[in-house]
Structure 1
Amino acid sequence: MRTTLTTSDGVRIEALYQPCTRGRAGTAIVVAHGFTGSVDRPALRRAAQVFARYADVVTFSFRGHGRSGGRSTVGDREVLDLAAAVAWARARGHRRVVTVGFSMGGSVVLRHAATHGGPPEAEGRTPGAIEARTDAVVAVSAPARWYYRGTAPMRRVHWVITRPLGRAVGRYGLRTRIHTREWDPVPLSPVEAVPLIAPTPLLIVHGDRDPYFPLDHPRTLAAAGPAELWLEAGMGHAENAADGDLLARIARWLTDPSAAPHGLGPDGP
């Protein structure tokens, strides 16, 4: 089922609801893609197919991506896109809604959980947080901090985001419309968000071959607050590198944490 959602700041977001392939599910998994992704990209559809074995699945395109409106703010206002998708899942009758995000989407699920996580009676949440709250969160290949340029792939990403020619490449080559304004104010960073997520369960997943963000990023995130850390041997970056076994383990962790085996553990390779 495809639909168009409207965020709290008025941006129209395309979304897709996929029922669980094993019958009625008690949980809905909302999936947040990486930068330059969209609801129809093969890697996201593959992840949704695996997740749908365990739960109903909501996928969507962030602003500036796919058929969604607006322009990408590269992880800032995208929290409102995720909140709209989670609220839609709850409006469809799901009492338990969980989130998983990849790369940029990983930073978004962390920041969303910091303001929309926890039980309904939790204090200090943003307006509308009860309807858009998450019951568990998984961040895959997420950055720990903003403005990271320590790898060649991230230097290319920053060129696309910050330069007029780069944004033209993003629009016409990568089908991603990027906002021209710099962040003002700079949003809460992922590592600053992590301590605010508890008591919502949090899982950090990262590959030891990630070409974008080295292992100090997941370790920093996991050390910032209560979190489980899986360091995956041989894995690269985000949804393109997540194989079916890992996706299934993530789905089991989200729907039944006791059933999911760990990755390499907090000490990693």
Structure 2
Amino acid sequence: MSTGRAGHMARSTVRPHFETMRRGPLRTVLRTVDGVAIDAAYEPGSDADDTGRAPTGHPDDLAIVVAHGFTGDLERPHVRRVAGVLAGYGAVVTFSFRGHGASGGRSTVGDREVHDLAAAVRWARELGHSRVVTVGFSMGGSVVLRHAALHQEGADTDAVAAVSAPARWYYRGTAPMRRLHWLVTRPEGRLVGRYGLRTRIHHRDWDPVPASPVQSVPLIAPTPLLIVHGDQDGYFPVDHPRMLAEAAPGHAELWLEPGMGHAEHAADDALMARIGAWAVSHAG
């Protein structure tokens, strides 16, 4: 298998068709390697922010793929808001994980979702983007870490940012995580997920248990890695991001955000703009 610069897999030789991409947004259904239909959308990006000025370093060849948190989907207002800010820094691909929104299948809560993300990244590259950055939140944060560690040819990422991600599986140390475990593991919880949260959850346990985020982080180098976490996160306390950063000494960049809570709802526009600027400067 051939490799590109500094251990990255070889990039597609398809040249960007920027005039085509600027015609407007796209909506499609992607197919994962295990046959699941994934609802996905593409926004070509904006040339100006709300002040009418284009962000410094806005790159036409950059696509940012957004991986939402558990019970989210690409139509949720908080996901659209995040995507809207990031569109000031490049094209944006959003998608709904399996079992969420209009996508097929059932959620495996971070296991097979790496296939969904890989399909979205591959689509961004097929659209002609030579640089792709993945940004994930909570469950999506664990997925972008595990995906980046695989370095899949044709579906690899040039930089990865994980926001509010867990470091280890089966954590039940907070009340929200105990409620989430009830939602996932109990039949009545899965009914609440399906009819109350528009999330269809698989009833089977993981077999085998996938590599945890903290096990995956050391394998991500040399791909640039950003870990973002709020010091008021009600789901995962700050030992989670610190554990992730310590697993990649000298490689991972850690932002501990004062007063921030959990995931997309807590990531304000200013933080998302900083993440967008980081993506521009670190994606090769």
Shift of 1:130: 1.3
Which ranges in structure 2 are unaligned for 5 or more consecutive residues? 1-25, 49-58
* Partner residue, 1:108: 143
How far apart, CA to CA, are the structure 2 residues paired with 1:94 and 1:54? 13
Q: In 1, Cα distance between the equivalents of 2:130 and 2:191?
A: 42
> What is the TM-score with the length of structure 2 in the denominator?
0.85
Match of 1:4 in 2: 29
What's the counterpart of residue 21 of structure 2?
A: none
> How many angstroms does 1:256 deviate by?
1.4
Q: Deviations over 1:75-100 (max 9, x none)?
A: 00000000000000000001111100
CA 1:78–1:186: 2 relative to 1, 3 Å? same
Aligned to 1:94, which of 108, 129, 152? 129
Contact 2:224-2:282 within 8 A present in 1 as well: no
Q: Describe how 1:1-269 pairs up with structure 2 within 5 A.
A: 1-22=26-47, 25-116=60-151, 129-225=152-248, 226-257=251-282
What's 2:18 paired with? Answer: none
**Distance between the aligned counterparts of 1:26 and 1:37, measured in 2?**
27
2:245 and 2:45 mapped to 1: Cα distance?
30
User: Is contact 2:124–2:132 with CA below 8 Å preserved after alignment?
Assistant: yes
Q: How many correspondences in the alignment?
A: 246
Deviating beyond 3 angstroms after TM superposition, the runs of 4 or more aligned structure 1 residues are none
- AA of the residue aligned to 1:196: L
**In the alignment, residue 169 of structure 1 is paired with which amino acid?**
V
**Residue identity in the other structure for 2:45:** C
Alpha-carbon distance in structure 2 between the residues aligned to 1:148 and 1:54: 34
Q: C-alpha root-mean-square deviation of aligned residues, in Å?
A: 1.1
2: CA distance, partners of 1:47 / 1:99? 13
Q: TM-score, normalised by structure 1?
A: 0.90
User: Secondary structure at 1:3's aligned position in 2?
Assistant: strand
Give how far 1:257 is off. 4.2
Per the TM alignment, residue 25 of structure 1 is displaced from its structure 2 partner at its CA by 1.5
Partner SS state of residue 256, structure 1: helix
The one-letter code sitting in structure 1 at the alignment partner of 2:265 is N
Q: Is the radius of gyration larger for structure 1 or structure 2?
A: 2
